[in-house]
Amino acid sequence: MASIVPPGRLAYGMQLQVQSQSRIYAEAWEADAGRDELAAIARKADDTGFFYIAVCDHVAIPRPLDERMNTVWYDTVATLGWLAGITSNVRLLSHVFVVAYRHPLVTAKSFMTLDELSGGRAILGVGTGHVEPEFDLLGVDFAARGGLTDHAIDEIRAAFTDEHVHDAGMRPRPRQGRLPIWVGGSSKPALRRAAERGDGWLPQGTPRARMVEAITYLRDHRERTLGDEPIDIGTITEVLYVGEPGWDVGSHVLSGKPEHIAERLREFGAMGVNHLQVRFRNRSLQELLDQLDAFGAEVAPLLDA
């Protein structure tokens, strides 16, 4: 296993707006947005030094959950493949891909192909999933999802490592040589899964105040099982707004001068985090693009690890 995050400065990435439009977090303007807006966000992230752009995964949202989660969830692999063709440097992450929904070799094939076509920029982020009726719809045992995920990671890893799995060959091979697998989730089983099987950890719901505890648990378990194997550790930051907003962005948004935002984000580095997932409040595509510019130019240079 290996780290892919460059040392010396906190890397930063983002889950793309438009691609998923849960009513929990989507901005109002996204309802009328589509491929053009998604392309503009991805290209801006590519131009402003983002380490990754991320796409999440749902197949179909059963009623009545659609009232809260919405039904706009672009297909993960199709979207990442399209993004590969319109960007140059930014890495392409699934955050997260529910591997229990598919045969492991299908997932391996998809991401090896993505890695080749993107020039070695794919990151497979995996998770167990959480929408039980969606599992039922797809004919997958929700209660068994933990074991299914562990098995899938092992099978996918084997396919990434060796062309022939179960006496059957799979090409194209990963351009990176070793295509990284980042494990998502914040529960104790997810932390153990990341420690035992992951090249990285993607928390989903771990608050700032619990990060040190979670990282300590992960590292201790990692040392017991894999020794001193490196692991990339991420966090989802508070929602950001660079500058003084001049409108009500909400009480939980981290806003203000770049120096203030950078100081708060560097606190994650002191906890052992080496990559940040950020999100910005915005009222329009243009305001979002302006926020990406401001973050890349004014905050990112201050993110020394």
pLDDT of amino acid 182 = 98
Pairing of strands 91-94, 122-127: parallel
Three-state SS letters, 61-79 = CCCCCHHHHCCCECCHHHH
- pLDDT digits 0-9 by tens, 215-255: 999 999 999 999 999 999 999 999 999 999 999 999 999 99
Tokens for 59? 């197949």
When pLDDT is averaged across residues 133-146 and rounded to a whole number, the result is 98
Give the confidence band of 305 by pLDDT, cuts at 50, 70, 90: low
pLDDT, mean over the chain: 97
Comparing CA positions, the residue from 112, 108, 129, 125 lying closest to residue 200 is 125
Which domains, from first to last, does the chain contain?
Answer: 11-302 (3.20.20.30)
Spatial contact of 273 and 10, defined as CB atoms under 8 Å apart: yes
Three-class SS of residue 113? helix
Alpha carbons 143 and 166: distance in angstroms, whole number: 27
- The predicted pLDDT at position 187 comes to 97
User: Tell me: the pLDDT tens digits for 41-93?
Assistant: 999 999 999 999 999 999 999 999 999 999 999 999 999 999 999 999 999 99
Give residue 247's pLDDT: 98
What pLDDT band is residue 1 in, cutting at 50, 70 and 90? Answer: low
pLDDT at 147 over 90: yes
Q: pTM, whole model, 2 decimals?
A: 0.97
